[in-house]
Amino acid sequence: QRQMCIRDRITTSLVVSGLVMFYKIFVGNIIQNGCMGYLTKSVHDENPTVGEAFSGFKNYSTVLSTTFLRDLYIFLWSLLFVIPGIVKSYSYSMVDFIKAENPSLPANKAIEMSKIMTDGYKGNLFYLDLSFIGWNLLCALTLGILTIWIAPYVQQTDIGYFEAIKQASGIGGRPNDGGDGQY
């Protein structure tokens, strides 16, 4: 009786974990890409609509392949040890912004450009994330309620950093904003 109960719990845990992973890969990453596009356009004073948050579904296959490859690469680097996975997650941290600005960019090109853009900035990105520890602890103390206010603040900060890295590296830009559009 007891072994059956433990087996049922393990099965339930595996099924729930599988469903969460399925959602993250096939829906969550796509919506995240659309939200990055929305926020990027708002930074450029383009007055995006709420529907822009779902724009990742317009280029579903390219966004899916890009985010899947990014997550797979981070996972594989994490198998070496935790530290390489963390370093690579910072290397690939600009993929969503790059893909939001240039949806037709091939997956490997977006990942490669993120690596080039973050070269020399991974430590700064790590310190930037550390600066939000207080906010994250406050969010945890309120059982996640403050996420509504904190997440947009963090995302806007990330977009500002992306814009700064983009200008400092001299690459990227959208064709319609004066950039060369070439990544």
Print pLDDT tens along the chain (183 aa): 666 688 888 899 999 999 999 999 999 999 999 988 888 888 888 888 888 888 889 889 999 999 999 999 999 999 998 899 999 999 999 999 999 888 889 999 999 999 999 999 999 999 999 999 999 999 999 998 998 889 889 999 999 999 999 988 877 665 544 444 454
Phi then psi dihedrals of residue 17, to 5 deg: -60, -40
The rounded Cα 94 to chain-centroid distance in angstroms is 7
How many whole angstroms separate alpha carbon 38 and alpha carbon 76? 30
